[in-house]
Amino acid sequence: MSILVDIVFWVLGGLAIASAVMVFVVDSMARATYALAVSFVAVGFMVLLLSQNYAGVITVLMMLMEMAIMAVYMVMFMGMNPALMPMSMVHSNKAAIAVAAATFVVLGGGALLVPWPTRRGTPPAHLTAALGRALMGDHMLVMIVFSPVMVATIVGGVVLASHRGRYDRMGDDLDRRPPRDPAPGGVGER
Amino acid sequence: MADVVAVSAWWTPLAAALLGVFVWGAAAFDGALTAGSRGMGPGGSLTRPLDGVARLLRQRRIVTLSADRLLWRVGGAGLLVAALLMVAVTPLGRWTLSDLDVGVVWFNAMDVAVWAFVWLAGWGANSVHPLVGGYRFLALALGYELPLMFALTAPPIAAHSLNVGAIAGAQGHVWNIVWMPVAFVVYCIGVLGFSLWGGFGAPLASDIAGGVRAELSGVDRLLLDAGRLALLVAGAAFAVPMFLGGGVGPLLPAWAWTLAKTAVLVAALVWAGRRMPVLRPDLLLEVGWLVLLPAALLQDLVVALVAVWVR
């Protein structure tokens, strides 16, 4: 059983690295995006092998959703030729290689050189629940204060970035019916 | 709480075959409704899906100029795979293929995979109408997915578990649908959404010459259409442990009740989908975020309050 897990681990690891390399090798925006998705999904399944089921499945979920949306943006923002033709996936090669190599050396060197602590005690039975209590238990006050601040930040960001709010749609007294929309229909239409 | 037991992986072909039988039944029912709406009798409804399969299997594959075949085929065949992976965590009475502790999240991840598959099926053909269809599906998905996610949240809150078997077992005599009707309705809308069924057929609509399906022929078209129905069936089957009490019922064994409830819900979804007008994606986005999402959140709040205070 443990040999089987080892095999699956290495296969998934190889797949993650190979498809990550393919992101820069392929000549299509769609293929590059979904090669990246395959890489992330392989990593998600590796997290499953670490018995972190929630984190693993959520990684698969988030990455698939993210890449499906990202493909749209990649195609949309790719200049005059909207990425429908074959194109190179790399630019500024030399600088990029230098930055990538430096980052790899720093991170890899750090991982090898840092004196890792040895485990004290044993892990609790329900690791995720214990982690949740450790994070939320003593720091509940901080979490409660931060949550509204974060929500307010998100809402404020959307309001500032919004091109058209309800006053643009329905006038200064919010009484214009039907609202002035670029495309008619939807909620609020009479 | 040993509500369900995980059976050996060798039962997977049987689960796939069962899914196939349900897909056939759903197609036959849909065909009978079509025949009825045209004033014909339901005669031959059971064999008509098989005729269609035989016809598509013999049809020659169309291949478009410089199509991205890899992505195209992956997208077309992916729906069926996603449906089977949903069924893998759905218990049949007391048995399940995988007793995953986060089964609900797994189901959710698979229905998000449909986003990728439909878009790829639209993109791969290198043709305008499928491409428009693929983009339309993503726009629809943005509208139905978040309400669906919050509808999926309600039963786990009540059961204090993301395990599908535990959720089924926690219901006892009061099925979740009784006190989570809003979540159930939003969930069913989501199932119609990720099956591209009924009102969610804009990506396949005739105004864009069939959309994602426009360039699909032969076995590729068969896979996509079977995949859509398989997703509908898998969604209905998953609703049974989530909202309809799992295998609970008098006289019959649990597996028979699970199948019976699934069949009723599949029939209801097929029928309801046919009664819906095709939704415009931008319109659904507004309804989804301004009506369905707050409704699902309120439902979650009610369930959370009950779960905290009653227990």
SS3 B5: strand
Peptide bond into B13 cis (omega under 30): no
Higher pLDDT, A122 or A99: A99
User: A68 and B115: CB-CB below 8 Å?
Assistant: yes
pLDDT score of A120 more than 80: yes
Contact between A20 and A39 under an 8 Å Cβ cutoff? The reply is yes
Q: What stretch of H or E contains A53?
A: helix A53-76
pLDDT in tens, A152-161: 999 999 888 8
Tokens found for residue B3: 């509500």
Contact between B29 and B45 under an 8 Å Cβ cutoff? The reply is yes
User: B287 and A28: CB-CB below 8 Å?
Assistant: no
- What pLDDT is recorded for position B1? 43
Contact between B273 and B198 under an 8 Å Cβ cutoff? The reply is yes
Which residue on chain B is closest to A33 by alpha carbon? Answer: B116
| pLDDT profile of chain B (311 residues), mean per 10 | 74 91 92 83 78 89 85 91 93 86 93 94 90 92 93 91 89 86 95 92 89 89 94 95 86 88 94 90 86 93 88 63
Q: How confident is the model at residue A171 (pLDDT cuts 50, 70, 90)?
A: confident
C-alpha span between B4 and B134 (Å, rounded) = 38
Tell which of A4, A27, A29, A34 to mutate to test the B interface (max B CBs under 10 Å): A34
CA distance A18 to chain B (A): 17
pLDDT score of A34 more than 90: yes
| Helical packing angle, B69-87 and B103-124, nearest 10° | 160
- Smallest Cβ–Cβ distance between A57 and the set B105, B135, B283 belongs to B105
- What pLDDT is recorded for position B93? 82
CA distance B269 to chain A (A): 24
Tell which of B123, B194, B292 to mutate to test the A interface (max A CBs under 10 Å): B123
C-alpha span between B122 and B204 (Å, rounded) = 10
Minimal CA–CA distance to B281: which of B205, B210, B228, B225? B205
Residues in B touching A65 (Cβ below 8 Å): 112, 115, 145
pLDDT in tens, A47-81: 998 888 999 999 999 999 999 999 888 887 775 55
Name beta bridge partners: B95.
Answer: B5, B92
Task: Work out the number of other CB atoms within 10 angstroms of the CB of residue B275.
Answer: 9
Tokens found for residue B221: 């078209």
Tell which of A8, A40, A64 to mutate to test the B interface (max B CBs under 10 Å): A64
pLDDT score of A181 more than 70: yes
ipTM of the complex: 0.86
Cβ of residue A70 closer than 8 Å to a chain B Cβ: no
